[in-house]
């Protein structure tokens, strides 16, 4: 399939790009061309808007397959891996603080005999933890860090990454046994200890991102 030039108004990080180097018969191909010609390293394309509108996740595939020429305005946004990680870790830190408060609330509900409410909130908390875990793993990948080599509190980060699994296993066993008193104790003490460790872990990854950005001559 041959590529043709696309005539549209292109903005990269709110700055109009006046040249005609963007090619591609589909929007996906045009975006790849924008990355090559309009995003100098180390910047990478991280988002875009078409004709002033955000593209919903459900419509992403169909939008990318549309002819690029069917749009009049394409706004592209770029970042660096270090900036992405810094933002992700800031969000993860805030989410962890929220999860910490929810966990303590769950323990209180369990101790008060409000088991149904407590377990429902626990499900929300565990979903938040999964999102935090995913953000940490992706950030390590973006920074190309080996968790077996990076230290957190005098032990490899890999060990810190494994700590929540042990606590989650204890939570599962307590739920299966319907031992809500034990579950409350795990949340108040074991989970709190892991949360404190993960605050340090997240801060360590953020520091790595800051150091890499500073080394390249920039400031996050």
Mean pLDDT over 143-167 rounds to 94
Q: According to the model, what pLDDT value does residue 4 have? A: 56
- For 24, the token pair is 């591609």
First-to-last C-alpha distance (Å) of the chain: 41
| Segment (H or E) for 153 | none
- pLDDT tens, residue by residue, 26-37: 999 999 999 998
pLDDT band at 214 (very low <50, low <70, confident <90, very high): confident
Strand order in the sheet with 15-17: 15-17, 9-12, 73-79, 44-50
User: What three-state secondary structure class fits 139?
Assistant: helix
> In the chain, what percentage of residues exceed pLDDT 70?
93
| For range 80-100, the mean pLDDT | 96
Give me the pLDDT at residue 2, please: 39
- Residue with structure tokens 């369990």? 110
Instruction: Say if residue 219's pLDDT is above 60.
Output: no
Q: Provide the pLDDT for residue 19.
A: 61
45 pairs with which residues across the strands?
78
């Amino acid at each position: 399939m041959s590529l043709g030039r696309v005539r549209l108004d292109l903005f990269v990080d709110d700055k109009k790009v006046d040249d005609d180097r963007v090619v591609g018969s589909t929007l996906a191909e045009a975006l790849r061309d924008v990355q090559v010609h309009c995003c100098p390293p180390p910047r990478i394309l991280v988002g875009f808007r078409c004709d002033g509108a955000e593209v919903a996740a459900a419509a992403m595939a169909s939008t990318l397959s549309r002819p690029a020429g069917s749009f009049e305005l394409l706004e592209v946004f770029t970042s660096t891996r270090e900036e992405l990680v810094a933002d992700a870790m800031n969000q993860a830190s805030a989410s962890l603080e929220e999860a910490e408060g929810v966990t303590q609330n769950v323990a209180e509900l369990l101790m008060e005999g409000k088991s149904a409410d407590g377990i429902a909130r626990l499900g929300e908390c565990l979903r938040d933890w999964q999102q935090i875990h995913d953000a940490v793993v992706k950030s390590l990948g973006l920074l190309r860090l080996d968790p077996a080599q990076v230290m957190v509190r005098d032990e490899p980060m890999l060990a810190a990454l494994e700590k929540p699994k042990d606590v989650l296993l204890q939570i599962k066993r307590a739920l299966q046994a319907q031992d809500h008193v034990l579950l409350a104790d795990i949340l108040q003490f074991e989970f709190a200890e892991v949360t404190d460790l993960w605050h340090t872990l997240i801060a360590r990854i953020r520091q790595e991102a800051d150091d890499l950005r500073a080394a390249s001559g920039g400031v996050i």
